[in-house]
Amino acid sequence: MKVLAPPLVLCSIVLSSVFFYNAQILEAFKPQTSSTQDDLYDMGVKKAMSGQYEEAITYYDKILEIDPDSGVILWLKGIALDSLGKSQEAINYYDKALDLDPNNANSLLGKAIALGNLGQSQEAIAYYDKVLAIDPNNSIAFENKALLENQTNN
């Protein structure tokens, strides 16, 4: 069996976060807010979907000034930060989102990906297990967990 080199594993983990920016999925998570927040949300998501993560963060920060307890925006900011290679900072935002909703599979998954990107494989695997306990069909969690387990066993 061919073992993936760590850089390929990390690329696979990072690329899986693209799933989070699926427009239909994000519409389902859109917080019920004012039209100003809706506009900021839409602009932030559009920027993130086009790979303009710094700009997306600017919009997310504006929403967080209005509603600092928006779990969805905390989660999205975590994704944007992780996409910029700021995995440790991303974890801080996932943790804030998890403080609001400890069983949110999306925030747990984001944290697992960020931990994997930081090389904290065992912690990442534990978070993938939490995701799979909530959502047993989560293919990203299943595949990334398997990749990390394979990497740590070789």
Q: What is the pLDDT of residues 24-68, one digit of tens each?
A: 445 545 555 557 888 898 899 899 988 999 999 999 999 999 999
Give pLDDT, residue 110: 95
Place of tokens 């519409």: 27
Give pLDDT, residue 153: 81
Nearest in space to 128 (alpha carbons), one of 78, 118, 138, 85: 138
**Whole-angstrom distance, CA of residue 119 vs CA of residue 62:** 31
Q: Do 58 and 81 touch, CB atoms closer than 8 A?
A: no
Domains identified in the chain and CATH numbers: 6-153 (1.25.40.10)
Whether residue 118 has pLDDT greater than 70 = yes
> DSSP H helical segments within 2-34, as ranges?
6-16, 23-29
Percent of the chain topping pLDDT 90: 65
**Whole-angstrom distance, CA of residue 2 vs CA of residue 61:** 43
